[in-house]
Structure 1
């Protein structure tokens, strides 16, 4: 065995070790997305806001009248605006200094701490809940900039669809595991000697502890790389680099075209994920146990969906598979509008359909974008991607909240999201992805 062969084998082993560590950040933080954002916090924060509401059902933060049922959606929107202000700076500094890992640690533990502090959300403390949601959601978005930026560095072009899909599968696996534990605690809270409210607060706080504990795995296995254009990494330098990045992105109009399409259709996906529990509890009259079980079903099927759609992408190409998933999303929302109240089976069927397309549509979008990023600018470009993924996904929750604010109907709010999938599909279909990859200076895979 030659020295070159040994070196290549060592390099491949090192990459596999990093990939395994990378998967575990999805394993760590997805519990927040599942247990907190999707299942418990929406209905619980809404109930806390209702405790603080006046006779007409309004709360008055800063003197502004807001329906109690819209507080959660508006808080999600505010958190995303905060993330928009921070993410580009973090991405620019990460690429300028090459020190992604310390920044990932800082963002992860700010988010995990805020989530753990949700244990203290009770009574009528809806403003505390909204504040913790803003901090945790913004911190998650910032951490994902850095997490996603590792993908082009730890996976070759032909394996990124598979690596990205495995990351999502790890996340959905942890989400399902913790939801089972949450379901046991919530349904059996009397036997554990705690109230229903306390059980919910324990579920919220445990997600933060899980996030913090399993973040240790990627922090041990991922490594920072030297940069070809080192800088001082100061705040001013970061903002100057951000401006340069924005100017640079104008030279890649096809990459920007993909980002615009992704911004729109992913806005719909993120809003469905974050508002589904409120729709189920407030409009369909389903109990918390039904909601937990439905989201657990989503998590289980999302693992199979992410891996299955990853395999489909190798045959049909990522773009075609994503477009197919968006057509399914459109049908899901149309069917959701007509779901009868008080019928759990119908809600379970919708949850199953969501699970089959959720992980794959997001995993393939991430891996497809990784091909469109110029080498050496991963964190900067993924900060723009994350602004599309979470950072600019403020419009969907805002539309959802306003629709309920104006009509008092969650059915009107849910059907309004169809437009995001229709427009996003049209824009994505117009992106010539092979030409975009070549224009970014990257090798074009045989099937994309």
Structure 2
């Protein structure tokens, strides 16, 4: 189908309507991609490397936290610019799985490359640059991965399949966290004689993450296949963006509530990302958890999140993804406010509230994916999920910016040197905005042609 025609063809059966019956073995293999790539999210972005980069070895707490928020925002900008065009190109070429494989290998390489970041102020922006590049690759790979859900799920099972994938990621995060903690970080002398001198325990752990990604994503690539498609003519970058714009205007004309959902999910997914991006940083900088304690908390959090996400996936198929999203966001807003109010309570406060927050983050993410998957037309997964990533990343500056601004506001109002805990108010504000915009969005089954 030529690109111009494809851009206008936004109606017709959902890709899930045409999907083969769900087979547990294929779902398990598909979920292994989430398991295999989870080290970047759990170990690198959340519980280990981001904490390492915001430690005193790289500068003051406020300086490193603000730098992290800046690099996160810049990475989000690149994702916003690239995701829909690359997703559209994957659809047009019919090589979605090929692109996913290459992007996965690149993510593994970037993860291992973090080994070069030594605990010195001069390496702060080297680490942030590699972290940002990995974030971009991870997000673009996620676009292609999400678009393959129609190879393993049907309309009746998409909620549980999506929840299973997210849950597999969380549970995979537990294993890799515990592996690096007991092999390298916790012992005075770990495997292969690794110690904490020169940050070697953390740096070697990054290599483990890269190897983990290469190894455990293999099952997914054994079951996922590129589908033959009639390729359209090659188009340039400018034309690609024109086609993206035609898709957006077509959605607005034909299925306006799908656009409303993309806008709402952009807000609340950015807030959810903020919870994970800055949660471990708050654990260490505000609540006084050591690097080892942060990892143990991360392992416990992933157990809770994995099981909760799988359970909510079953609920998604029963009550619908919108209700799952709203319940999750409402709970996160309340819990985030409690974290701010009770910040002086130390670890005794952070543990229960932090674990409760992890109960609701994964279900909201998984339900958001299943919501959109139910709407994607056949052969349009890459483009629509690319728009999904782009709408999220267009506002991806909100959580990191709000986090940084509220830290500065706290310092201005209190005169304290460490006002990091004020950053949680910025995250809560974004989550609350997402909740408010999601309220009037119709359920997926009511997104009829205007």
Q: TM-score, normalised by structure 1?
A: 0.87
2:215 equivalent among 213, 216, 230: 213
1:78-137 deviation line (CA, Å, top 9, x unaligned): 111111121111111011111101211222222221111101100231121011011100
Pairwise mapping of residues 259-274 of structure 1 onto structure 2 (< 5 A)? 259-274=262-277
CA distance in 2 between partners of 1:438 and 1:423 (Å): 25
1:25-82 deviation line (CA, Å, top 9, x unaligned): 10111121001111112221123xx5465xxx59xxxxxxx92331112111111111
What stretches of structure 2 of length at least 5 have no aligned partner? 1-18, 412-418
Pairwise mapping of residues 173-192 of structure 1 onto structure 2 (< 5 A)? 173-184=171-182, 185-192=184-191
CA distance in 2 between partners of 1:393 and 1:308 (Å): 28
Decide whether the 8 Å contact of 1:295 with 1:351 is kept in 2.
Answer: no
Instruction: Identify the residue that residue 6 of structure 2 maps to in structure 1.
Output: none
Instruction: Identify the residue that residue 6 of structure 1 maps to in structure 2.
Output: none
Decide whether the 8 Å contact of 1:337 with 1:414 is kept in 2.
Answer: yes
Shift of 1:361: 1.2
Decide whether the 8 Å contact of 2:79 with 2:139 is kept in 1.
Answer: yes
User: Cα RMSD over matched residues?
Assistant: 2.4
CA distance in 2 between partners of 1:261 and 1:396 (Å): 14
Please, which moves more after superposition, 345-354 or 242-251?
Answer: 242-251
Shift of 1:314: 3.3
Instruction: Identify the residue that residue 46 of structure 2 maps to in structure 1.
Output: 38
Asked if residue 78 in structure 1 is aligned to residue 86 in structure 2, the reply is no
SS of 2:78 mapped into structure 1: helix
Shift of 1:406: 4.7
Instruction: Identify the residue that residue 116 of structure 2 maps to in structure 1.
Output: 120
Instruction: Identify the residue that residue 149 of structure 1 maps to in structure 2.
Output: 147
Asked if residue 29 in structure 1 is aligned to residue 37 in structure 2, the reply is yes
Instruction: Identify the residue that residue 245 of structure 1 maps to in structure 2.
Output: 247
Shift of 1:376: 2.6
Decide whether the 8 Å contact of 2:271 with 2:427 is kept in 1.
Answer: yes
Report the CA distance shift for 1:76/1:241 in structure 2 as closer, same or farther (over 3 A): same
2:27 equivalent among 19, 23, 36: 19
Instruction: Identify the residue that residue 404 of structure 1 maps to in structure 2.
Output: 407
CA distance in 1 between partners of 2:351 and 2:40 (Å): 22
Q: TM-score, normalised by structure 2?
A: 0.86
CA distance in 2 between partners of 1:191 and 1:372 (Å): 49
CA distance in 1 between partners of 2:147 and 2:66 (Å): 34
Pairwise mapping of residues 195-234 of structure 1 onto structure 2 (< 5 A)? 195-196=195-196, 197-227=199-229, 230-232=232-234
CA distance in 1 between partners of 2:173 and 2:107 (Å): 17
CA distance in 2 between partners of 1:136 and 1:434 (Å): 32
Shift of 1:400: 0.8
Asked if residue 194 in structure 1 is aligned to residue 194 in structure 2, the reply is yes
Please, which moves more after superposition, 87-96 or 152-161?
Answer: 152-161
CA distance in 2 between partners of 1:390 and 1:17 (Å): 33
Instruction: Identify the residue that residue 61 of structure 1 maps to in structure 2.
Output: none
1:413 equivalent among 408, 417, 423: 423
Shift of 1:190: 2.8
Shift of 1:288: 1.1
1:220-243 deviation line (CA, Å, top 9, x unaligned): 220111235634366565444323
Shift of 1:302: 1.1
Decide whether the 8 Å contact of 1:93 with 1:234 is kept in 2.
Answer: no
Shift of 1:363: 0.7
CA distance in 2 between partners of 1:205 and 1:404 (Å): 33
CA distance in 2 between partners of 1:345 and 1:263 (Å): 33
Shift of 1:434: 4.4
Shift of 1:18: 4.3
Q: How many residues align?
A: 418
Instruction: Identify the residue that residue 106 of structure 2 maps to in structure 1.
Output: 110
Structure number with the bigger relative contact order (C-alpha 8 A, sep ≥ 6) is: 2
1:372-397 deviation line (CA, Å, top 9, x unaligned): 22333211110111224556422101
CA distance in 1 between partners of 2:449 and 2:257 (Å): 8
Instruction: Identify the residue that residue 167 of structure 1 maps to in structure 2.
Output: 165
CA distance in 2 between partners of 1:42 and 1:127 (Å): 12
Pairwise mapping of residues 274-313 of structure 1 onto structure 2 (< 5 A)? 274-313=277-316
